[in-house]
A and B are shown apart, each in its own frame.
Chain A
Amino acid sequence: MLTNKRLILAHFWLAFIVFGLALVLGAWQMFVRSPLNTWHFNPEFYYRSVTAHGSAMGYVFPTLIAMGFGYAITEASLEKPLVGRRWAWVGFFLVAIGAVVAMIPVSLGRASVLYTFYPPMIGNPFYYIGVVMVVVGSWIWVALMSINFTIWKRENPGKPVPLAMFANVAGSYLWAWTAVGAALEILFQILPVALGLRSTIDAGLARVFFSWTLHAIVYFWLIPTYIAYYTIFPRAIGGRIYSDAMARIAFILFVVVAMPIGVHHLFADPQVGAGFKFMHSVFTGLVALPTLLTVFTICASAEIASRLCGGRGAFGWIRALPWSNPIMLATALSLVMLGFGGAGGLINMSYQLNTSVHNTQWVTGHFHLIFGGAIVIMYFAIAYDLWPHLTGRASEGFGLMRTQLWLWFIGMIVTTFPWHYVGILGMPRRMAFYDYANPVISPEAFSVVMSAIGGFILLISGTLFLLVLIRGQFSTKGEAGAYRFAIALHMPERIPVALNSFGLWLALMVGLTVVNYGFPIAQLMALSETNVPAVYVGASR
């Protein structure tokens, strides 16, 4: 039963409003840096825009989705009202106010440092303070998830925690610990300098701290999507989850191995030695495991659903799937994008191949395909699925939903494939302007135009999405009934303690992070000559 509907709706609405605004910026960025733009413009606006787009899409939007979806999962799967409703609103307002506090200096051009911060460039302190408020707001959510999980277990001794809640709590713990890297960087390194208390900073150490956050944050973005794969998709198409235990193992693997691998973002950096780069590269391989397991379970679950309603043959069952159902469509399109994106990810993870694409447009193409494509399309699906339960109104316009999802998929492919390609040609990322008249750069012009066209398709799709949600607020009243998650084909009666609790896994998560990050961080902290003068950006100084 969803009792705190307003709380959940507030999270989703704010998330999607932020998404809509940032989407406009993204499309504008694509356009101005393409050959389609023949006007001169101030390149500084481009970096303001990328800072705003990146911070909104990377920090605010997925965090609000995880929070709102997390509250919905708590109430629906544990079948009782959320404990700590007031605190949840406090968290929500911290995120909302933090986002505004951060965006004011960005829009004034006082913090054009991009969402990765990279000192010694230092922006206005309010940008960082705003980001910290967003994170603190989300930590309240983490605490609430943990509290609700613990209370339910105490009330239901020996019973398996519902899979959706187990995965949701796994995601919240993962986020709590991965955010620590950037939090240490901001609180102990950047803010003292931004506030003028100190004037030097170790840029190498800052990059190491940030890498601790930067990798696992992508799994935080991913977890709502995986929860939807496992617990919404099979139910929506009338099937069962192939295996409950394997699903739990997949989420546990994310918690354990997502963190101690972030140095793969620093393969080309001089401040970390080869040994630790190798260690992190090996662990990066391991993190492919939960995704491989997931792909199997989801495809098998789809097959079960199809055969339950008459699908037959080795491949014939695929035709018999309920393709007109938007959740079916979204999941299939998401898996296709995940497949392409995963292939690209295998290239990034090898430090030999990585050198040919590091920091080129390949990287931005890659994460737009995975994050903007595979992950966000399932955020749409989650909203479509939950909406009637939240608004108390009937779900109408499946056709419009399908059009929207197809447009998002097509837009993503048209945007990101050429984006990868120019990266292979060596086109550097994050530039406001390229001289397409230069014969070295001119071969990239056509591909960049394609990407820009894809961007407009995405903008149309995003607009349609918001229209469907608005329409859902005003359609005819209708009780959607209790919100349910998929159940497993073979529901376990008992479950090993290890698959029903987190103590061991959290110890491993923290332990492995300390092993894989402890030495590089200690080594850099011991170096004093690497504190370099801060370079303040913006007009304020």
Chain B
Amino acid sequence: MATETDHGPGEAVAARIERRWATLSIVIVALLVGMAAVIGIHRATMPQARVETADPKTLHLSGEFIESNLGSAVEPDGSVTVRAIGQQYSFTPQCIVVPAETPITIRATSADVVHGFLIEGTNINTMLVPGYVSDLPVRFSAPGEHVMPCQEFCGIGHQGMWGKVKVVDRTAFLNMTAAKRRLTCAD
């Protein structure tokens, strides 16, 4: 094969085509990044803004994650707050009950190692890291049941860590809250 190189018009053409492709690539990347930015800001689908902490050593003694405070509660503004914790190898509450068509805030943390919090059939998916509180706004469009596996390896019982979420009609949910301050569907 010849090793000498020609620096004629061929080289200029090659360089021009290559520049065009590079420009196109930059445009594609800019478009994708721009899309993510616009959707993030317009649809408020940004991740959790602040870092909040919770000490797993004292979770059960004081603060918002004491046992009697776990489960779903109605707030004065009509929204619902769900508090939950993950531990090897279960969730508390093991079954979460929530109303459909209602703004819900999930606040959750871990009592020991890193766990995951995934509600199948929805886009609800977050990590539970001991020491930190995960806070996410969610909304369920229709009543139904979902499984809620832990999606991060948390020890040799990880495969058994499945919770449940029951989405009920909004009025049915409000009727249930008349009897109890914190709702769960785990018996």
A356 to B45, CA, bound (A): 13
B124 on interface, CB distance cutoff 8 Å: yes
Taking the nearest CB of chain B, how far is it from the CB of A357, in angstroms?
8
Q: Pick the contact of A272: B14, B51, B109, B150 (CB < 8 A).
A: B51
Q: Count of B residues near A, CB < 8 Å? A: 73
Q: Pick the contact of A535: B109, B112, B149, B159 (CB < 8 A).
A: B112
B5 on interface, CB distance cutoff 8 Å: yes
Asked if B159 contacts A203 (CB within 8 A), the reply is no
A114 to B55, CA, bound (A): 25
Of the listed residues B1, B26, B156, the one surrounded by the most CB atoms of chain A closer than 10 A to its CB is B156
* B 108-146 to A, binary, CB cutoff 8 A, 1 in contact else 0: 010011101010110111111111111100000000000
B186 on interface, CB distance cutoff 8 Å: no
Asked if A268 contacts B47 (CB within 8 A), the reply is yes
The segment from A313-321, A475-483, A484-492 found at the interface with B is A484-492
Taking the nearest CB of chain A, how far is it from the CB of B150, in angstroms?
7
How many A-B contacts are there with CB distance less than 8 Å?
209
Q: Which residues of B contact A441 (CB under 8 A)?
A: 147
B67 on interface, CB distance cutoff 8 Å: no
B176 on interface, CB distance cutoff 8 Å: no
Asked if A281 contacts B36 (CB within 8 A), the reply is yes
Taking the nearest CB of chain B, how far is it from the CB of A237, in angstroms?
12
| Residue of A whose beta carbon sits closest to that of B1 | A238
B29 on interface, CB distance cutoff 8 Å: yes
Q: Which of B145-187 contact A (CB under 8 A)?
A: 147, 149-160
Asked if B49 contacts A430 (CB within 8 A), the reply is no
Q: Which residues of B contact A426 (CB under 8 A)?
A: 118, 120-121, 147, 149
Taking the nearest CB of chain A, how far is it from the CB of B146, in angstroms?
8
Q: Which residues of A contact B18 (CB under 8 A)?
A: 242-243, 246, 296-297
| Residue of B whose beta carbon sits closest to that of A308 | B1
Q: Pick the contact of A288: B29, B127, B133 (CB < 8 A).
A: B29
Q: Pick the contact of A121: B5, B11, B15, B113 (CB < 8 A).
A: B113
**Taking A203-B130, A271-B51, A428-B151 as contacts, is the C-beta distance between A352 and B40 under 8 angstroms?**
yes
B33 on interface, CB distance cutoff 8 Å: yes
Q: Count of A residues near B, CB < 8 Å? A: 77
**Taking A121-B154, A278-B40, A430-B153 as contacts, is the C-beta distance between A204 and B55 under 8 angstroms?**
no
Asked if B114 contacts A352 (CB within 8 A), the reply is no
A238 to B2, CA, bound (A): 11
Q: Pick the contact of B56: A112, A293, A532 (CB < 8 A).
A: A532
A242 to B10, CA, bound (A): 11
A392 on interface, CB distance cutoff 8 Å: no
Asked if A270 contacts B22 (CB within 8 A), the reply is no
Q: Pick the contact of A270: B35, B52, B55, B147 (CB < 8 A).
A: B52
Asked if B129 contacts A535 (CB within 8 A), the reply is no
Q: Which of A267-318 contact B (CB under 8 A)?
A: 267-275, 277-278, 281-282, 285-286, 288-289, 292-293, 296-297, 300
Q: Which of A343-383 contact B (CB under 8 A)?
A: 346, 349-352, 355-356, 358-360
Asked if B47 contacts A277 (CB within 8 A), the reply is yes
Residues of B in contact with A (beta carbons under 8 Å apart): 1, 3, 5-7, 10-11, 14-15, 17-18, 21-22, 25-26, 28-30, 32-33, 35-37, 39-40, 43, 45-53, 55-57, 88, 109, 112-114, 116, 118, 120-121, 123-135, 147, 149-160
**Sample of 15 more A-B contacts, CB < 8 Å, known A288-B29, A530-B132, A533-B57:** A47-B153, A121-B114, A204-B129, A270-B135, A271-B132, A274-B46, A277-B47, A292-B28, A292-B29, A355-B125, A356-B123, A359-B151, A428-B151, A490-B7, A537-B155
Residues of A in contact with B (beta carbons under 8 Å apart): 43-44, 47, 50, 112, 114, 116, 118, 120-121, 202-204, 207, 238, 242-243, 246, 266-275, 277-278, 281-282, 285-286, 288-289, 292-293, 296-297, 300, 346, 349-352, 355-356, 358-360, 425-426, 428-434, 440-441, 487-491, 523-524, 527, 529-533, 535, 537
